[in-house]
Amino acid sequence: MKLVIKVGGSLAIGPEGPREQYIKKLVSVIQLLQVNQLVIGIGGGGMTRQYAKAIEPFNLTDDEKEEMYIDIMRANVRLLSFLLKGKPVFSLSDIDEKEEVQVTGGIEPGRSSDANAALAAEMINADLFIILTDVDGVYEEDPKKNKNAKKLDKISFEDLDRFAVEVSPNNYGVVDPTAIKVIQRARIPTIVCNGHDPKIILQILNGEHVGTKICD
């Protein structure tokens, strides 16, 4: 099995840096996986958001800001690659189909870590793409704004477009528009779920239905 897991920065990275307990749980779960190839994507989380607030007075362009956020995310990539004894990937051209474990994050301005993970899934022809986020799945409306919003158990590739949002640095939605396009064109089976407990990865691989499944 070829598997790609995107770990939301909101889960793993706080304003002060990596969340120790979460990272340790994540690593212990990943070490249990028996897959042929694994790519892990990691976001910037609270670190990049805190940094974004600090640089607001400097009137930088979005691209300039994102260049700095990418540098922060590279530290997160290195941390996970060290802990998992995997390969850090800072350019999609460095994705190696023979490498067992690879870790990626931010690569270039205007493209989220979700999009980079989706592109990696396309490149290795992944059997499954898991997006761990801080909500239970994809909702009809933003559940943070409407507590009565309905979670969707399944979305077709064709219907995915309507969940794309307008993006800005550090704000790409639950699944960002570029990731959506990649998932659609490569028809990558994808599960978006609440990743507060990394053990949900094992539940998914054991066939349990959690979150929102994007499929035919």
Q: Domain extents for the chain?
A: 2-215
Across residues 5-13, what is the average pLDDT? 95
For position 110, what pLDDT does the model report?
Answer: 83
For position 5, what pLDDT does the model report?
Answer: 98
For position 46, what pLDDT does the model report?
Answer: 93
3-class secondary structure per residue, 135-157: CCCCECCCCCCCCCCCECCEEEC
Q: CA–CA separation, 140 vs 144, rounded Å?
A: 12
For position 169, what pLDDT does the model report?
Answer: 52
Across residues 69-94, what is the average pLDDT? 96
- What are the b/e assignments for 153-185, b being 16+ CB within 10 Å? eebebeebeebbeebebbebbbbbbbbbebbbe
**pLDDT tens column, 41-60:** 999 999 999 999 999 999 99
Tell me the C-alpha to C-alpha distance, in Å, between residue 197 and each of 8, 19, 114, 148: 12, 13, 19, 24
Grouping H, G, I as helix, E, B as strand and the rest as coil, residue 50 is: helix
Q: Look up the CATH architecture of domain 2-215.
A: 3-Layer(aba) Sandwich (3.40)
**pLDDT tens column, 155-192:** 999 988 887 665 555 454 567 888 999 999 999 999 99
